Every structure is written in C-alpha cells, then in structure tokens.
C-alpha cells in the first residue's frame, strides 16, 4: 500500500472518530439542557431508564387498597302518584319498611300500613353505585323500580321518601348503612328508547354518610416502617392525612385539595420516596425532569415530580419552552398543582388552541386553588368557543367557582335554571344525571310567536297565535278534559320555564294569579326539545347522558 493511500485511510478514520465525538458531545449538551443547564429542546426518544436507583417508594413496601365503586341497594316508598301506585309488597319488605318509617317519624302518628296500602304510593327497589373514594355528603344518582308483580303503573311525578342504602346483596342482614336516598323521581321522556314509567331516577338523590378511607397494607408488617410511611405522608400532605393503625396497616384520608382528583392523590402516594435528603432530592428532580422531556411514559415522571413537591418547580419550569406540546402541558399542570401560577399562561395557550389535542385536559387542570384568581377569565373566554365540549367544560368549572358569568335560580324543588349570557351560540343544555339543571347558553333566548306546542300526553299546551303579545300556558287534568290552570308568560324562554315549573299558587294567592303550573323537570325538558325541533326556539337542544346504573 502506498503512503498516500495510508494517509487517506488515516484521515477517513479520524473523520469517523471526530463525528462520533461530536455526536456524544451533542448528546451530553442536550442532557444538560434537559436537566436544567439551559432551555429544554429534546422531545423525542424511545425512553431512558434512570441513571441509578433513586430510592425506595411507598409502592415497593405496601399494597394500596382503594375503595372501588360500591353497588348499593335498598327499598323505599315513592309517594305522590295520584292513583298509579299499588298496595302489593312482599311480607319481609313490608315489615322492614314499617319498622324503618316508624323510626323516621316516631311522633307523627302516621298509619304506616295505610300509607303503604294506598294507590298513591308504591314500594320500589332502589339501586345505585356509590363513587369510588367517596366523600361524606357526596351526592350520586339512584335508580328506582316498581317491584315486579305489582299493579303499579307509573312512578312519574313521585317523590322518594328517605330510604337507606346498603351494600348490594345484604338486605335483611345487620350491616352498615352506607348512604341515604331521597328526592323527586325523574322519568326520562327524551331518550331513544320507549319510556318505562315503572322505572325512574332520583338525580343526585343518594348521599354518602361517611368518607371512605384508603388503606396501605405493608407487605412485611413492621411498626417502624409503618411509622416512617405515616410521618412521610403527613409531612407531604398535612397532619392527619395518614394514621398507622397497626404494624401492617396505614389508613389515609384524601386531603380536601384533592377532592375530585382522588386518583391523582393515590398515584402520588404510590410514587412517594420514603427517604429524602437535599442531595438525593436534587438528583431525583434532574432525572425525572429529563424523563418527562424524553421518555414515552411521561405520566409517571409528572406524578413523581408533583409528589416531590415545590422543590421541583424551577427545574420543571424549564420544560415550559419545550417544542413538544405534551411536555409543555404536563410541566404546566404539574407546576400549577404545586401552587406555581407561572404556568397558567402555558395552560391558557393550550386551552384556547383549537388544534391542540390537550384542550380539555388543560381546561380541567385549572380546577385547583392556585388557579382561582386567573382561571375565570380563561374559562369565560372559552364559553365563546365553537366546540361545545369545551364550552360545556368551561361552564361546569365556572359553576364550581360560583362565577358571575352565569346566574342560577332554584325552580320549585326540582331543578336549577342557569343562564350564561357570554356565549355566541344559543344552546339549551339539560342534565339527566347529577344535579338536575337547565342551562341556557346565549341568554336571553326568545321564542317566536305563532307557536303551538303540546306535551305527548296532551295535558300541557303552549300557544301563541301570530301577533299575540304573550304565550298562553295551559295545564289540563290528566284524566279529565277540564283545564286545571292557565297562565301567561313573556316570550323569554327563562320566563316560560319558570311559569311552567314553579309550584302552583295557594288559594290565598290564586286571586292574584301568578306562580306556576307545577310541571315536572322531565316534562319541561321534553317540551324544550319539542320547541327546538319545531323551530319555536332557535337554539340547539343538548341533553346530557342518563345515569349508568344496573
């Protein structure tokens, strides 16, 4: 081989080595940037394992036992049925109801047997699913069904008297009462399926009696370890969050700030490191920030950083400038959860970006105390969004904040009427699970004149001939052709709803007219749907989903 050829080969080898060195240096610089030496700029990777073991987590020492959604059941009495109930009731259930009602009304002198035997009442089976990790006084939907083999024809217009709910399959056994149920029976009239009047729902009618606890079961019982875990959890989440009840078990109470985010709290408990020092905490933060930036499993890194606490805020903040939207979103959510408001602008940008895949997530991330001074302005803007799911989610959060962008009034004792003026699109949203409510987006909404709308049974009529200055609202007797009441309403939709659904006036009030026709929530939302379909109201009709029970 000639010297010239040898020199050529040497130069080529040096060039290859030089490029490898340059690649390694670039990787090191990128890692430094991600870890906090500069701005994050690397977002794509197949995932990196931590450089070394970062310490013992609570999950490695204990099994976390979380309460699942609990199916519950019971029996109760629905009243106010105007002859559509029945007296039939199995002896065991009848005996139970007599005892229970007597304990609820000990001084009333009510003849319970006569009450049960009336055709104005019906004995019903009650079913529900209590929420997982339920809070004391938390409400949930219940389903009521007339007992099979009875002559009850309809539960419509009924009211469920207070009933007790126990774990499914425990009726007749002395077990703990988990919840109570009470309220107006909702018989859906707008679903695709034919209405079964022997079945109904009490929306938000169940109430949890005591908060459920989460348990940590140590894999190797040891009181010293249990005490260390308890102390670590109380240090992070506040005194009283954890209690070591034995060497094998620790009980947890979800802190109030995690209400509605119970599963996130549980994930944080799992991810919590038992030991901490300034040095190892710093190393954990740098490693986890790097993981959040480049790994496939970003959720694990985000949770672990939030678990560490405020010490991670500055390093996580570097990722707000990432070119990867998911990284920016997760970093911003983590920081806001830790009380840092500097990430609000990032979440706002994502929430208002119509092309973002994380809009709803960013919107919901604002439901934390740290965002309460800034979130309402963002949420009000989102009420104008063309995507109804975004609009609805913003409205739901503004409800929780009791924001003046919406007004709320109680109609009778059945539901809430809520009006949102700050909305270009005119929509009527009606809930069919949770708290019963009608939300009018784009309020006020006015009806046209020259309308005639009649309920499916023909007993409720809305009529306004062309040129008439008001709408006549008529309610007929359900079994006789006579008119019970006739009232007038303006063409404003909210006024129509009030006049239809407020309780009828008493004899003392009837001389002056006013108040309402006592139309039920189920009936009025069926009328609203029909009004939208007939063009009497130029608005979209949007019903929420029915409860998923049974």
**Do 42 and 34 contact (CB within 8 A), yes or no?**
yes
Q: Report, as an integer, the average pLDDT of 525-535.
A: 96
Q: Which of 23-37, 273-287, 463-477 has the lowest mean pLDDT?
A: 23-37
Mean pLDDT within 209-215? 91
DSSP labels, 528-545 = HHHHHHTTSB-SEEEEPP
pLDDT tens digits, 4-30 = 444 444 334 444 334 433 333 334 334
CB crowding 170-196: b at 16 or more within 10 Å, else e: eeeeeeeebbbbebbbbbbbbeeeebe
* Distance between CA atoms of residues 459 and 383, nearest Å: 37
Q: Which of 495, 334, 529 is nearest to 411 (CA)?
A: 495
The DSSP 8-state label assigned to residue 484 in this structure reads E
Please, is 74 exposed, middle or buried when counting C-beta atoms within 10 Å of its C-beta (0-12, 13-18, 19+)? buried
Least confident of 1-15, 237-251, 255-269, 431-445: 1-15
Q: Residue 464 has what pLDDT?
A: 95
Average pLDDT over residues 261-284: 95
pLDDT digit string (tens) for 42-61?
Answer: 333 333 444 457 899 999 99
Among 67-71, 255-259, 356-360, which is the least confidently predicted range? 67-71
List the structure tokens of 356: 């973002």
How far apart CA 403 and CA 380 sit, in angstroms, is 9
Please give the full DSSP string across 85-132, using - where no structure is assigned: ------HHHHHHHHHHHHHHSTTS---HHHHHHSTT-EEEEEEEEEPT
**How far apart, in whole angstroms, are the C-alpha atoms of residue 148 and residue 93?**
13
- 407-453 pLDDT tens trace: 999 998 789 999 999 888 999 999 999 999 999 999 999 999 899 99
Predicted confidence (pLDDT) at residue 32 exceeds the cutoff of 60: no
Say yes or no to pLDDT of 255 above 60: yes
Task: Give the model's pLDDT for residue 52.
Answer: 54
Q: What average pLDDT score do residues 195-221 get?
A: 94
Residue 439, H or E segment = strand 437-441
Query: Phi and psi of 516, rounded to 5°?
Result: -135, -175
Residue spans of beta strands (DSSP E) within 381-430: 406-411, 415-420, 427-430
Question: Would you state the structure tokens that stand for residue 157, as one six-digit string?
Answer: 């217009």
Q: Rounded to an integer, what distance in angstroms lies between the CA atom of residue 536 and that of residue 165? A: 43
Structural contact between residues 361 and 336, judged by C-beta atoms closer than 8 angstroms? no
Of the given ranges (45-59, 81-95, 390-404), which has the lowest mean pLDDT? 45-59
What is the rounded (10 degree) CA torsion for 371, 256, 395, 180?
180
User: SS in 3 state form for 359-373?
Assistant: HHHHHHHCCCHHHCC
Pairing between strand 471-476 and 460-464? Answer: antiparallel
- Of 109 and 15, the one with more pLDDT: 109
pLDDT digits (tens, 9 = 90+) for 278-314: 999 999 999 999 999 999 999 999 999 999 999 999 9
Q: Looking at residue 175, what is its pLDDT?
A: 86
What integer pLDDT is reported at residue 299 of this predicted model? 96
26 alpha carbon, distance to own chain's centre = 46
Whole-number mean pLDDT of the chain? 88
- Residue 2, pLDDT above cutoff 60: no
Q: Are 168 and 72 in contact (CB under 8 A)?
A: yes
pLDDT-based confidence at residue 514 (cuts at 50, 70, 90): low
Question: Which pLDDT score is estimated for 337?
Answer: 96
Instruction: Give me the pLDDT at residue 18, please.
Output: 42
Confidence of residue 506 (pLDDT cuts 50, 70, 90): low
Full DSSP string of 52-82: S----BHHHHEEEE-PPPEEEEEEEEEE--T
Q: What is the pTM of this model?
A: 0.85
**Whole-number percent of the chain with pLDDT over 90:** 76
Radius of gyration, CA atoms only, the chain: 31
pLDDT at 68: 81
Split at pLDDT 50, 70, 90, the class of 104 is confident
């Amino acid at each position: 081989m000639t010297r010239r050829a040898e020199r050529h080969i040497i130069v080529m080898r040096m060039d290859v080595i030089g490029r490898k060195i340059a690649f390694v240096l670039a990787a090191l610089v990128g890692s430094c940037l991600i870890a906090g030496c500069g701005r994050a700029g690397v977002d794509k990777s197949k995932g990196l394992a931590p450089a070394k073991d970062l310490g013992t987590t609570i999950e490695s020492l204990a099994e976390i036992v979380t309460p699942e959604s609990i199916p519950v059941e019971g029996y109760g009495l629905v009243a106010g049925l105007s002859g559509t109930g029945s007296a039939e009731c199995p002896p065991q259930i009848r005996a139970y109801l007599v005892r229970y009602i007597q304990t609820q009304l000990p001084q009333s002198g009510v003849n319970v047997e006569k009450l049960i035997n009336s055709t104005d009442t019906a004995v019903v089976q009650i079913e529900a699913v209590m929420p997982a990790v339920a809070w004391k006084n938390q409400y949930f939907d219940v389903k009521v069904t007339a007992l099979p083999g009875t002559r009850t024809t309809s539960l419509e217009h009924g009211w469920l008297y207070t009933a007790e709910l126990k774990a499914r399959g425990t009726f007749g056994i002395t077990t703990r009462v988990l919840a109570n149920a009470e309220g107006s029976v909702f018989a859906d009239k707008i679903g695709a399926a034919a209405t079964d009047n022997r079945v109904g729902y009490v929306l938000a009618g169940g109430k949890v009696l005591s908060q459920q606890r989460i348990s940590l079961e140590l894999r190797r019982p040891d009181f010293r370890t249990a005490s260390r875990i308890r102390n670590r959890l109380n240090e992070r989440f506040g005194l009283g969050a954890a209690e070591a009840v034995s060497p094998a078990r620790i009980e947890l109470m979800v802190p109030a700030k995690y209400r509605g985010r119970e599963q996130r709290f549980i994930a944080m408990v799992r991810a919590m490191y038992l030991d901490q020092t300034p040095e190892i905490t710093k190393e954990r933060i740098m490693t986890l920030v790097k993981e959040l930036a480049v790994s496939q499993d970003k959720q694990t890194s985000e949770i672990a950083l939030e678990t560490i606490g405020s010490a991670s805020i500055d390093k996580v903040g570097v990722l707000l400038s990432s070119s990867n939207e998911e990284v920016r979103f997760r970093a911003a959510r983590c920081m806001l959860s830790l009380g840092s408001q500097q990430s609000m602008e990032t979440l706002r940008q994502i929430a208002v970006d119509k092309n973002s895949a994380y809009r709803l997530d960013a919107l919901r991330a604002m439901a934390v105390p740290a965002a309460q001074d800034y979130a309402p302005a963002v949420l009000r803007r989102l009420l104008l969004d063309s995507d109804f799911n975004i609009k609805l989610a913003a409205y739901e959060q503004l409800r929780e904040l009791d924001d003046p962008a919406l007004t709320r009034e109680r109609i009778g004792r059945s539901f809430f009427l809520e009006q949102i003026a700050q909305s270009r699109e005119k929509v009527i949203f009606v809930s069919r699970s949770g708290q019963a409510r009608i939300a009018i987006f784009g309020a006020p909404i006015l009806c046209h004149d020259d309308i005639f709308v009649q309920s499916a049974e023909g007993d409720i009529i809305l009529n306004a001939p062309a040129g008439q200055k008001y709408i006549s609202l008529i309610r007929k007797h359900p079994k006789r052709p006579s008119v019970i009441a006739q009232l007038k309403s303006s063409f404003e939709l909210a006024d129509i709803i009030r006049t239809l659904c407020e309780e009828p006036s008493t004899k003392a009030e009837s001389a002056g007219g006013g108040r309402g026709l006592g139309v039920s929530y189920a009936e009025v939302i069926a009328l609203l749907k029909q009004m939208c379909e007939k063009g009497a109201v130029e608005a979209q009709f949007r019903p929420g989903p029915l409860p998923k029970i049974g």
